[in-house]
Structure 1
Amino acid sequence: MAHPDWPRAWRAALYGPLGFFARGSRPADHFRTSPLVGPELAEAVVELLDRVDVALDRPNRLDLVDVGAGGGELAAQVFALGKRFGGRLRVRAVELVRPPLPAGVDWSAELPDQVTGLVIAHEWLDSLPCRVVQRHEGRIREVHVASDGTESLGAEVSSPWLDQWWPLSVDGQRAEIGDPRDAAWADLVARVAAGAALAVDYGHFAGARPFAGSLTGYRAGRQVPPAPDGSCDITAHVAFDAVAAAAGPCELVTQREALAALGIAEEAPAAGLAAQDPLGWLAGASRAGRIAELRDPAGLGGFHWLLCPRSAPISLVRA
């Protein structure tokens, strides 16, 4: 049985003719993520977009580009909440297969050449294939994989990125070499003529890398071994310190911190409201529960937000 390297197998499993994304599989069918919780993430994005708009002095056209849009939920929600921008707002979802989108939201399978506004890459970087390596008998060797997930060790690997960002000092340690992601993020940021680019993802940092790496799969709501047969999403967490260094000055916070700074706070409705306005109390309690889920540091609140401004002073934590 042939064992190709992980990048080729990973890319084919997600983006090949019979791949997970190429055949229109929707992330919502396989794992839960922030845009699926409710409209609160979109509210935060709209608040950030408003800061971008102000910093750019209200341009005639304001772009919101959702890269790796999945089922299009976030793009659709931002479009629905974007009435404050009038007819200036242009929302585009970038995804390999066109998701169901409301009239007025554009779609493309390609990245835009130039953006004036905000680009958001929500769980995009973690799906970009990269080499998987393991230290074995003092040498760093590439991990190969068959379509059924069976792995083997290949040739010895030399990587300046690995030396700088994820050195392996103990046999059995694994890493995902993140230089393709660094390059992809730097390219995406460079496409912003004015405004900012925002990456939202799970990640890790030097000194606290996962010993066995973070490569995994998701299928039908469950975490599964990452078999590259097109039946599951394949993902690995992002080395955020390396990605941040690739794109110039950036701001990096947790999702919990970002939402608080953008006015999304989990405030339970007053207990007395239940008797006076039961439906209002129920709506308020439901909203507080959704925000609590988005801010849970053991769950979605553990996402990192990396904001890279371009040609304007834009911040997550400073209004």
Structure 2
Amino acid sequence: MKALQKQDLLDCHQRIAEHIHRTPVLTSRLLNEISGAELFFKCENFQRMGAFKMRGAAHAISRLTKEQQQRGVVTHSSGNFAQALSLAARSLGVDAYIVMPNNAPQVKKDAVKGYGGQIIECEPTLTAREKAAKKIVEKYGATFIHPSNDLDVILGQGTAAQELLEDQPNLDNIFTPVGGGGLIAGSALAAHFFGNDCKTIGGEPFEVDDAYRSLKSGKIEFNETTNTIADGLKTQLGDINFPIIQKYVDRIIRVEEQEIIEAMRLIWERMKIIIEPSCAVPFAALLRERTSFKGKKVGIILSGGNVDLGKLPF
């Protein structure tokens, strides 16, 4: 992999600027008092399609040649990236084929269709997903785009932290959730290039703590269980984002399920904004170790707001 430069993120942001929202940074005096830190929430729940993943999807598609764009793009996802790739592809005039497990919630399938994605259903296993995606690549010549283990996607996701640091250049820390690793890798690059000795910290549920264990062991670890309310964080790290995480992420703090629910409720109640459970994990991590961050200026990436309102945990 080529050595990344600050210019790579600047070029990326310029490419996607017309396809994304520059999301607001919100503060809460009460949450500052509760945490003991000065908090700045980067609200990607207000991003197009409701999550940061629009950034990476738009960048990955924009980097394809005209010939590749004409043949379309494909991914396998049952969540936010399925919606992000569909909407980004529509914005750029490209066909998007989305492989989704047949047990994916109807609301997510409807959202993908609403954004113009063509759904191909498969059995709910990773093998079946990969096989179905491969068939689309062979049939249409479409380009496969991975939701998190793709350098163009990682750079795109990093633009959220880049914008946050442009607005608040003297942050001591940036917290993000850790799932597939794209957001934390991109954020860590942004903190390295745009921050002033700003450290990147991940929040991860104890129930899916593969990234925490991977940093300890030095190799990609896997999860035995995925029993967490943070459904967006059940994915695995990849061989492209893990080396970036190893190099630039300070540490990962694990949280209990109840801590995630309490952090989510606090943001709903005090900030009057909708966030999904995965999005509450970095705030829960900060609260768990609040004494370590007392008096610090801390940025928190609120990753998304695509929550099933029929299944709220409170």
TM-score, L = length of structure 2: 0.30
TM-score normalized by the length of structure 1: 0.30
| Rg comparison, structure with higher value | 1
Q: Which has the higher strand share?
A: 1
